[in-house]
Amino acid sequence: MAQKKGQPPPLPPSLPNGWPSPSPDDLLERPLRIIQINRPQTYSFITNFIRTSKYTLYTFVPKFLAITFHPRKKMANVYFFIIACMQMIPLITNTHGIPTVFLPLSFVVFVDGIFAALEDLARHAADDRANASLTDSIENGKSKQAEWSTVRVGDFLKIKNREVIPADIVILAVKEKTQIPEGRAYVETKSLDGETNLKMRRALKCTYLRIKEDADTLNIGEGKIEMEHPNKLIDSFKGTFSLVGQEKEVIDPNNVLLRGCTLRNVDWVIGIVVNTGQDTKIMMSNTESPVKLSSLEQRINVEIKRVVMYLGAVCFTGAMGSFVWKHNKMLDAWYLRWTEADAEDPTQNLHDYNATGEFLLSAIVQFFYYFLLMANFVPVSLYVSMSTVKYFQAKFIEDDLEIYHAETDTPTKVRTMALNEELGQISHVFSDKTGTLTCNIMDFRKCTVNGVSYGKGITEIGRAAFMLQGEDVPDDVLAGEMLSREHAEMHKQPHVNFYDQSIRFDLVGAKTEEQAEALQDFFTVLALCHSVIPEHDEETGEVHLSASSPDDEALVCGAKFFGFDFIDRKQGNATLKLSTGEEKTYQILEMIEFNSTRKRMSVVVKKDDVIELYSKGADTVMIPRLKGNQEKLLGSTCEHMTEYAKEGLRTLMICKRTLDKDWFEKWHKDFKAASANLTEIEKRLMGKSNKIDLLAEDLEKDLRLLGASAIEDKLQDGVPACIADLANAGIKIWVLTGDKVETAINIAVACRLLHPEEYMEQIIITAEDDDEFDKNKLKDKLIENIREFENDVKEAGSPDLIKPRALVIDGPALIVGMDAEVQPYLLRFTQCCKAVVGCRVSPDQKRQMVNMVKTKVRGVKTLAIGDGANDVAMIQAAHVGIGISGQEGMQAVNASDYAIAQFKYLRRLLLVHGRWNYRRMSRLVCYIFYKNIVMAIVQFWYAFQTGFSGQKFYFEGGIQLFNIAYTCFPIMLLGVFDKDVDEKIILKYPQLYNNGIRDAFFNSGVFFNWILAGTFESVIISIFPLYALDNTSKPGAQGGDGLLPSLWMFGATSFSLVVLVTNFKLLMNQYTFPWFSIVVWLLSVGSWFLSAWGMTSVLIMDFDGYGVYVELMQNQSYWLCLLLVCVFLGGRDFFFKGYQRAFRPQLHHVLQEIDKFNLDSLDNIQIPLPPQPHMYMKENLADLPEHVEESENLELLQIVRRATRTASDMFHIPKGLGFAFDASDMQTVMEERNIVLGRSAVKHNKSRMSAIIFGKSTSPTNASFVDRPGTMIGKKSFGEGIAFWDDDDELSGEEEDDEEETSAGKESTIMGSLGMAGLFVSKLMGAVDDDKSDDKSDDKIDSKREATKSEGSSNRESVGSGRWSMGF
């Protein structure tokens, strides 16, 4: 744009070219962001206007359509868009060139657009509120209100108490509540980092004494700020502040207030804006959560491709039928030629007629014509139905009072409703501990001072420790716990649960003066060494503590409980009020704060000209800093700390040091200089050696040990029961925490995650105190434990009969375990464990562990749950992320897919809502495809009567309304309300959840059983009306008038049957029938009859079908045809379901009857855990050293030993020389084999097994003639041959629910015969030999098979239903 005359030239942008990824040359050209103070800016900056919405008024349509028709996300929409385009091609159109599919497609897209718009409108509203918020802006020394969106870089802002910061600002001045200014302000950063504690910030030293009011912003003069370019590092800020005629002052993170934080504890703050809008750190940190799709939605895209392939096969068949028909009939049907022919002599010029070319071209055209005719194979209403159902499912989850926390008024929040059904398929739960399993509300429980332990009672975790050792809790300990609770209730001191009268006497010198002095020093350190901020309520006079961590708050409250009350912090002083009423003031000279690297905190205080250092921290960092000659005290203190850790208490070592005044002054001068040095600050941020940390090390040495504190983080209510139920459901639970190994183990026992040694073997791998620990040592230990596990399985015969394993591993060992060479073995061993506990793990290690299981193991669905900002990476990495609205703010919640208030709510969220939603969505998807295929393929069968012409015989209006009106609403109600089992039964028998882990409700087997059922029913629906209506119309037939029914009458009858049969099918697969569901069902079915009568009664609406339905409704044969077909097809499902309930009941069938008939006598029924899902490593693992040959032979020995076991109620010996076991035992054998050999061994096994197992089974086995080794084998029912039961087949899905009951041939059983025992074993051993040489010919194996058939034919034995048998 040309510059206007007299207008100043535009300013260059403040950011380098190519931002945010500038080249080195561009960055060198503009290395710093320069902001002018009290003078015009030399660079342009973006405004403070923010937008977090996805769309604007102008971009909504193009962006939404790009997402809606994305082939990887909404494949069905792309499919129908192509169909609509094809409908406009004159050569193949069956709608007169009108794209009729656009009508339902537009409706679907419109509804999706409404959901997207409603979701985005909420973001727009939030953006508008933020941009229109008001703040005080200072211009020319005067304050005025301005909207946030008008704030510019370089503006002076005045932020008042409890106001939200509108932009990133550097603090220039603070109006404090104290008389002497110190330039201190406090902010709440909950919206930024998720932490609820207050953090202290400081004004620049060169300005905070010069600015007392608004006008003083002009008096500071001109200057500039040189700083780093905008970034998302919220704990980092590098820059300098310089005024004309003054030295530069370093700006560090403590001088900056970030947008989104809340100002607290001061009257106002005046600052200068340095970052606005999208350049602020909070906006740059707001990375979008990863887009997550449920596994069901991902599988839908796969099944759509298969359905389209099925459609292509049908179209190809129709095209070939047309080719053949025309080839045979074209001479007679000369009028169908594309080239002109003489009507009087069709054979004229026949030699010039290119029949083959025309037939082929006609077949190609016919293929696409059929494609359009049956385009409804893929349902157009699929996505809108799923979205609608998930929306209401989410509402029911949010409105569930059972997972609503009344104390904090926190309901469960659904943030990603697309994952509703994924909640029903979770196989692994990864949980944080602090704030997730525990309350994150700390109580001061015990302490050790000068070698003396104080504090009675025991925690829940301490009880678990006694249980772990097989001991009872002593009576005096239990009595002490009761007194402790009574004492805490009596005194009502927050964050203190302590009882031990001896400490009161020792404080006044009852034991010794030395002990009294040590106790006084101990509690003085607790009262002063912290970052707690006292907030004074001017109305009530009360003091509220705001701590940087709940541990600090508990320690300060503990000091108050013993008479050392921290009451104020101002003017560089801290004031304590003693129990005597005396107030003591300590001057705070320096404070070195706690961080995850230092793991300690120190404060230097001055009292009566004595300078002392007070320190507290983890024992691992404090012990090396102690002065000598304290071995005895250190030994007793460490012993007490170990005892506290066994109770799950969090311990800190408390120390002090008296400092020489001259030495400290020199040290302090050096420390301040280093803290103001930008180079040293940058080194420290990058984790490099720096003077700041070196000087801190110099200060924190030669410490005198005072003792240690122990605080309790209580378990949340219901956590043990929740974890026990999740484990019974088949879910593996991993707890990842930063605690010590002993603490983590005891907490896991208290949560029922781990069990005592006599019930569970704990494998503990730690590297923290092992200097020789390396990857080879870890690898050897893992291999040793894997072998031990396999040997135990070998001896017991089943993994369920051995002592379960649990892995406890610490962070340093996990770093080694993530090595590419070791990781496969670590992963393999974790799959052998019932539980995994990670100790001393970092946030990134949590993410790595989740990713390891998620990406390396097939069949898993991971869930991560946490409550703090350090859990965000783990939450976002998992398939489903759960955030807990706890004490650590909302960062985890904001990054999560679902938010709950308590860990115990996870039980109901998964077992009840998750299972219901997974089953409902599975049924919904299968049914929608089923009904569409029934409707579409009927026209293909009719083509056999019309010379494969592709003539459609449905009303076009009926086709378009089929998915919108006739079948849409009943299935959506099922998806929202249907319950196969009541919630109280699900919670009582959590084993029901295991079906979801195994994908039993939606897999390829279940899906295509529905497709095959629809294909079979479509044949009946197509053929039956042709003969029923035709015969009743002939002369002589009762009511016959001699007029043949038209094709439109046939079509209307078939379409009526499609509507009725598909809706009756839904009823047969529904368990609950609320009144409104029945009403909607009747309205949906009735709408067809009403609309059919209306469409055919008005000529303009349907020319072809005008008057057809009115006439058809008067035909008695029409109604009889509807009745007979519905009874026949409905009866088939009815009787098969009855057969299944009577002879092959599933677990939910049994539980339904228990609930229905109130069988209280069965309350103690023991429901076995269903087979575990087949979860195996995606990558082939290297075989364990010197273990492969033994494993290969072990497979066969194990099968024989397993089969010949008789000491079990699950087995019976049939009459004669034989043995039997049922299908569940076969599943167990397969699982054992996979544990022993691993999946990789199976893939390399090329030989066949030649043994034959005979017997009878009423359960489906997917019998097939395959060359897959290592799977159980048998003979087909009353026939000859070898059949394998392949563990990769979708057996679990076919056995689980009623979807699979629709396909034909499922009642087939496997029978066979077997010869002598020697032959059986020799054939098996021969199979092993074949593994070593792959050159065995198939002919040789077949000859062995035939020999086995002839030798075993005389030994055939019939065995009872549901049993597999082997005969010798």
**Residues acting as catalytic residues:** 432
CA–CA distance, 750 with 465 (Å, rounded to integer): 8
> Cβ(898)–Cβ(417) under 8 Å?
no
Number of Cβ within a 10 Å radius of residue 94: 18
CA 198 from chain centre, in angstroms, equals: 32
**Of 147, 965, 964, 842, nearest to 432 (Cα)?**
842
The tokens for 159 are 């932020």
User: How many DSSP H helices and E strands does the chain contain?
Assistant: 45, 38
From residue 1205, give the alpha-carbon distance in Å to each of 1211, 1220, 1222: 8, 9, 13
From residue 97, give the alpha-carbon distance in Å to each of 101, 374, 494, 1271: 11, 16, 78, 55
Place of tokens 């953090």: 199
From residue 1254, give the alpha-carbon distance in Å to each of 203, 230, 1154, 1364: 87, 74, 35, 7
> Cβ(1047)–Cβ(953) under 8 Å?
yes
CA–CA distance, 417 with 101 (Å, rounded to integer): 28
The tokens for 728 are 């019974």
Number of Cβ within a 10 Å radius of residue 938: 26
Q: What is the DSSP letter of 1162?
A: G
> Cβ(456)–Cβ(481) under 8 Å?
yes
CA–CA distance, 1085 with 11 (Å, rounded to integer): 69
Number of Cβ within a 10 Å radius of residue 118: 10
| CB contact burial 527-558 (16+ within 10 A = b; e otherwise) | bbbbbbbbeeeeeeeeeebbbbbbbbbbbbbb
Q: Which residues contact 834 (CB under 8 A, 6 or more apart)?
A: 727, 732, 760, 804, 805, 806
The tokens for 978 are 């249907």
Q: What is the DSSP letter of 757?
A: T
- What residue ranges in 870-936 does DSSP mark as E strands? 880-884, 898-900
**Of 447, 579, 389, nearest to 973 (Cα)?**
389
CA dihedral 514, 515, 521, 522 (to 10 degrees): 150
> Cβ(777)–Cβ(1223) under 8 Å?
no
Q: What is the DSSP letter of 164?
A: B
Place of tokens 């809108």: 384
Asked whether the bond before 20 is cis by omega within 30 degrees of 0, the reply is yes
Number of Cβ within a 10 Å radius of residue 624: 9
CA–CA distance, 460 with 752 (Å, rounded to integer): 12
**Of 638, 612, 636, nearest to 623 (Cα)?**
638
Q: What is the DSSP letter of 806?
A: E
Q: What is the DSSP letter of 261?
A: -
**Of 373, 101, 322, nearest to 936 (Cα)?**
373
Q: Given the DSSP bridges, would you call strands 880-884 and 898-900 parallel, antiparallel or unpaired? A: parallel
CA–CA distance, 1316 with 1219 (Å, rounded to integer): 13
First-residue to last-residue Cα distance in the chain: 95
The tokens for 821 are 């060479």
